[in-house]
Amino acid sequence: MLRITVLVSGGGTNLQAIIDSIESGRIQGAQIGCIISSNPNAYALERAKKHRIRARVISKNEYPDMAARTEALLATLKQEETDLIVLAGYMSVLQPKLVQAYQGRIINIHPSLIPKFCGAGFYGKKVHQAVLDAGETESGATVHYVDEGVDTGEIIVQKKVPVLEGDTADTLAARVLEEEHQLLTQAINTVIEKMNH
Ligand code: GAR
């Protein structure tokens, strides 16, 4: 059994998608050992509790120093015997030390068609507003490996989603999010297969 640690910051619908996929057998050979939230008020923590998954908060408030925060993350990841880290709506950038320690074993979901609308400053609702402001007719979601850059790692899967007339950042976000849930399961299966070979 591969052990996944999921890093979250917010609502956790992508976390829920992973939980559901594991429970229904759409993801096999893996389990969520633990979730780590950067935000003590994240609804994702409630989701973990409901499914009896261990949860930890490692926040900027608790660890204002970035190096200390990285050490806390590394200690938990190690303690949890993490094989794969999934960033599912995690709104912090991982430091190079952590990325190097888990090279090729960290994936991130991003709500745009990378290389468009990604990188520093593009997260959550801001991504969708930027897509609308640019007058794009399509957007989408991407799951990629995490390297030392921001949203620059190798792409695993990508899915297009149309932008519709009258879309707001909220309506577009909701349409993309629905696809993200499928895409993340698909990507995790791809990665599990690769790790098992
Ligand atoms: C998702 O749309 C995810 O792609 C995005 O935040 C949302 C989290 O939703 N992530 C980023 O913008 C990372 N740069 P969730 O908490 O319901 O999974």
14 is in an annotated binding site: yes
Question: Which residues in the chain belong to E strands, given as ranges?
Answer: 2-8, 30-37, 54-57, 84-87, 106-110, 138-145, 155-162
Q: How far is the CA of 38 from the centre of ligand 1 (A)?
A: 13
What are the chain's domains? 2-109+143-158+180-195 (3.40.50.170)
Tens-digit pLDDT profile for residues 121-136: 999 999 999 999 999 9
Is 12's C-beta closer than 6 angstroms to any atom of ligand 1?
yes
Predicted pLDDT at 197? 86
Question: Which pTM does this prediction carry?
Answer: 0.98
Q: How far is the CA of 25 from the centre of ligand 1 (A)?
A: 24
Tens-digit pLDDT profile for residues 156-179: 999 999 999 999 999 999 999 999
In degrees and rounded to multiples of 5, residue 196 shows phi and psi of -85, 0
Is 117's C-beta closer than 6 angstroms to any atom of ligand 1?
no
- Residues 58/69, Cβ–Cβ less than 8 Å: yes
In degrees and rounded to multiples of 5, residue 74 shows phi and psi of -60, -40
Instruction: Look up 110 and say whether it is catalytic.
Output: yes
Tens-digit pLDDT profile for residues 56-99: 999 999 999 999 999 999 999 999 999 999 999 999 999 999 99
CA dihedral 119, 124, 127, 130 (to 10 degrees): -130
Reported as a pLDDT band with limits 50, 70 and 90, residue 25 is very high
